[in-house]
Amino acid sequence: MTTEQQALCLGNMRLVSHCAKKFAKTGLPWEELRASGNLGLAKAAATFSPEKNSSFSTYAGKCIDNEIFKLLRQRKKHRAVGSLDEVLAGTSSVRLYDLLPDGTDMAETVDRKLLAASMLEALMALTPMQRKVWELRLGLTGGPPMKQKEIATLVGCSRARVSKILQDSSDKITKGAL
């Protein structure tokens, strides 16, 4: 970090507190909000461009808010449910792992195989282009599932065309699989 960037950060430390106050009721500890805000301030100092006719504090405020939003999204995504060994509320001895499927249920296995067979049959009813796009999208060709942009490059069309193919043929697949 250059001395100019350090000066920008030191001169705008109160801005971090101001921005973090907006998120005080989210349940996150104040220290984490401030730490995330400080990271946003450092990123703002590193990427600020005065040629854009914006003041640093305006730009930094957005960067700080974005960094705190990022922290909130991460926390929401990785929320802990609890232990699988805990007894569930309202029951005397049912644990969470008792409710998880173990794959040994015969009806479940048969249903899965029937659905897979009907999906394969539904895919065979599509045009060759539609079938190829779906196979690539779902990773049925042995590789990982591909993004629309990757499929477009591979089959030689636009991403919008791939999206249209998927959209138009999804009704055929769902009707054929049901």
pLDDT at 175: 65
Q: Where are the domains of the chain?
A: 3-77, 106-177
Q: Evaluate the CA torsion angle 82, 83, 85, 86 in order and state its sign.
A: negative
- Quick one: average pLDDT of 37-64? 90
Complete DSSP assignment for 138-175: HTTTSS----HHHHHHHHTS-HHHHHHHHHHHHHHHHH
Average model confidence (pLDDT) for the chain? 82
pLDDT in tens, 120-153: 777 888 899 998 998 888 887 778 889 999 999 9
CATH class of the domain comprising 106-177: mainly alpha
As a whole number, mean pLDDT of residues 39-59 equals: 89
CATH fold of 3-77 reads Four Helix Bundle (Hemerythrin (Met), subunit A) (1.20.120)
C-alpha gyration radius of the chain: 26
pTM (2 d.p.): 0.45
Higher pLDDT, 102 or 8: 8
> How far apart, in whole angstroms, are the C-alpha atoms of residue 54 and residue 41?
15
C-alpha separations of 120 from 8, 142, 155, 174 in Å = 60, 15, 21, 11
Cα end-to-end distance, the chain, whole Å: 59
